[in-house]
Amino acid sequence: MKKILLSHGDGGSQTHQLISEVFQAAFGDAELEQEHDAAVLPFQSGDLVVSTDSFVINPVEFPGGDIGKLAVTGTINDLAVSGARPAYMSVGFILEEGLEMKLLKKIVQSFAATAKEAGIRIVTGDTKVVERGKCDQLYINTTGIGYREQGVQLAYHHIQPGDRVIINGGIGEHAAAVLGERMGIPFTAPITSDCQLLHAVIKKITEEFKTVRFMRDPTRGGIATTLKEIALKTTLNIVLEEERIPVKPEVRGTLELMGLDAAYMANEGKVLLIAGPQEAEALVQFLQDIPGHEMAAAIGEVTEGSGQLLLKTEFGGTRVLDMLSGEPLPRIC
């Protein structure tokens, strides 16, 4: 079969063939191969961390990744910023009739390779096929289950005035790569999505830095939306310094060409860390020493306040930033 047919979704012999030849061949997990309706897995007592995301990105392949890599990365990073060690993952595919089998296999391979790198087991899955024109190639849902690391205490209520806001690299790269690819914008310099697994870096940070109060990956809505959410939850203010926010010039240029602000653009390999001032400099240095995180920077500070996000501009003024609102930027992840 060169293309996905509706009968690949009927639950019968062709569904079984697809599962066995494409999914199991790539994922190779003993529990998955049982083909039960549910996976049965050992779990130590403690806290379970669960995160789910659906991925509908267009195009499904983009500079720096594809929907398969993204679907694993997104869920792993959500677990990691919650202080969890990834353990198990479920995956649900919605496939469009007519999808090229070659493309599906490529994406599934990418999914499997990323899961292997993350050390997470793919333990149960589901496949549906919808008619041509009722989906766009394929959508993927991943649900990740992790163990809460012992001793990791991350919560909004640990955040204090004086804490620093740190980011591990340049912002807006994922959105610029995807939107540029979608709209066929010729880049002066190649732009690659920052799509990357963060669990290993985050694990080291939580081991070595004890004043990290909170972490969050600024995906849809960008750093501004994520930080505004944190400000609202804590009813503290967050003050950003525009000139300290790292943005690669080609990313800024591409986004400005589209009239978009990098602070509101999706990232897929970035983490915002809120940490005590005494460790901020060392934490930034620690990050900068890791390949791929050289642009890490302290970009702002938590202050007493009332849930506002403020931006000190390069020209000396101060702007109030709100969440992303009304921007139709569909299918960026």
Residues 32-61 that bind its own copies (CB under 8 A): 35-56
| Residue closer to its own copies (CB basis): 219 or 280 | 219
Residues 299-328 that bind its own copies (CB under 8 A): 322-328
| Residue closer to its own copies (CB basis): 317 or 326 | 326
Residues 208-237 that bind its own copies (CB under 8 A): 216-217, 219-221, 225, 229, 233
Per rule CB under 8 A, count of chain residues that contact its own copies: 84
36, 141, 167, 175, 248 from 190: Cα distances, Å: 45, 29, 22, 13, 11
Does 268 bind its own copies (CB under 8 A)? Our answer is: no
Query: How far apart are alpha carbons 331 and 291 in whole angstroms?
Result: 29
Query: How far apart are alpha carbons 170 and 63 in whole angstroms?
Result: 16
Residue type at 87 in one-letter notation = A
1, 136, 260, 287, 308 from 100: Cα distances, Å: 9, 12, 33, 40, 48
Which x/- pattern, by CB under 8 A, does the window 246-265 give for its own copies? ------------------x-
Q: Do 177 and 94 touch, CB atoms closer than 8 A?
A: no
Which x/- pattern, by CB under 8 A, does the window 107-146 give for its own copies? ----------------xxxx-xxxx-xxxx--x-x-xxxx
Give the containing element (helix H, strand E) for 251.
helix 249-257
| Residue closer to its own copies (CB basis): 41 or 189 | 41
The rounded Cα 145 to chain-centroid distance in angstroms is 15
| Residue range at the interface with its own copies (CB under 8 A); choices 65-73, 89-97, 107-115, 196-204 | 89-97
Query: How far apart are alpha carbons 254 and 173 in whole angstroms?
Result: 10
| Residue closer to its own copies (CB basis): 37 or 150 | 37
